[in-house]
């Protein structure tokens, strides 16, 4: 879920932290083969949507910053099958469009969210995604937020106090979209331990990053401790004057992640 600010100053004033990564630069081919096999869900599947059925994406709620945004099926650039989900951010710098899904509280609290996305750099948008524990009156308790920019910065995460921190020296590239078309797909997965309120791991394409122990989730102090909803979401921000479109495919939410 988007925060109160517009994130336009996210890249400034960042504090780098040296973190450990499993990416083996000496043998990238072998690393890629191993990580490719992990793209099937490693936890117990709670929810999946490949966007191949139905006349409209009714399984998802949409929220946007202004008129002019939409979510709909796209049949021109499917990741697989015949279609993907198109998120059109309204015109205007920092305008955004969000697709979200409320799920019942899971028995196991080590949770995962994974999907494929296409976000052409020429459209100058960026992606925020993650999971939240919240209640029905829209109060967030804990949040796992990840940010991916099209160029210039490594992935970022929101810390316990809401500060946005780069995942530095983890083997991630600083540019994910090198095409001007929508056939440049990428994979993302985040795992968080909501029982202990910690980030666990992040995978983007063939690189997996393990957060150091006790890397806390975003703690919304001052809000009610009660929660009864698990939210998964993806938000695309527009950084141009015109509306911009990004794509999602094969979304899976899991619990009891290793």
State pLDDT tens for residues 108-152. 999 999 999 998 766 677 899 999 998 877 678 899 999 998 777
pLDDT of residue 137: 73
Q: Tell me, what's the pLDDT at 236?
A: 93
Average pLDDT, the chain: 81
Report the distance separating Cα 70 and Cα 157, nearest Å: 26
Q: What is the pLDDT of residue 4?
A: 34
Q: Do 156 and 209 meet the contact criterion of CB atoms below 8 Å apart?
A: no
pLDDT of residue 214: 96
Q: Decide if pLDDT at 255 tops 90.
A: yes
pTM of the entire structure?
Answer: 0.82
Report the distance separating Cα 125 and Cα 237, nearest Å: 5
Q: Which domains does the chain possess?
A: 17-255 (2.60.120.200)
Local confidence band at 171 (pLDDT 50, 70, 90 cut-offs): confident
Tens of pLDDT along 189-210? 999 999 999 999 999 999 999 9
Burial 19-42 (b: 16+ CB within 10 A, else e): bebebeeeeeeebeeebeeebebe
Phi/psi at 4 (5° precision): -70, -30
Per-residue pLDDT tens digits for 33-61: 223 333 556 899 999 999 999 989 999 99
């Amino acid at each position: 879920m988007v925060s109160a600010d517009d994130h336009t100053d996210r890249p400034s004033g960042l504090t780098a932290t040296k973190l450990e990564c499993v990416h083996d630069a000496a043998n990238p081919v072998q690393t890629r083969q191993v990580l490719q096999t992990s793209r099937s869900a490693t936890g117990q599947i709670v929810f999946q949507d490949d966007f191949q059925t139905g006349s409209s994406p009714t399984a998802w709620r949409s929220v946007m910053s202004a008129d002019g945004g939409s979510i709909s099926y796209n049949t021109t650039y499917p990741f697989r099958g015949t279609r993907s989900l198109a998120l059109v951010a309204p015109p205007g710098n920092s305008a955004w469009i969000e697709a979200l899904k409320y799920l019942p509280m899971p028995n196991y609290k080590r949770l995962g969210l994974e999907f494929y996305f296409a976000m052409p750099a020429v459209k100058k948008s960026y992606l925020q995604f993650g999971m939240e524990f919240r209640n029905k009156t829209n109060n967030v308790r804990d949040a796992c937020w990840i940010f991916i920019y099209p160029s210039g910065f490594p992935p970022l995460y929101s810390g316990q106090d809401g500060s946005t921190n780069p995942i530095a020296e983890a083997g991630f590239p600083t540019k994910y979209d090198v095409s001007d078309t929508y056939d440049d797909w990428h994979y993302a997965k985040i795992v968080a331990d909501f029982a202990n309120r910690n980030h666990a791991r992040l995978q983007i394409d063939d690189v997996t990053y393990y957060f150091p122990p006790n890397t806390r989730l975003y703690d919304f102090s001052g809000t009610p401790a009660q929660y009864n909803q698990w939210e998964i979401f993806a938000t695309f921000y527009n950084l141009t004057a015109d509306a911009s479109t990004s794509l999602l495919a094969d979304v899976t939410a899991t619990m009891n992640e290793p």
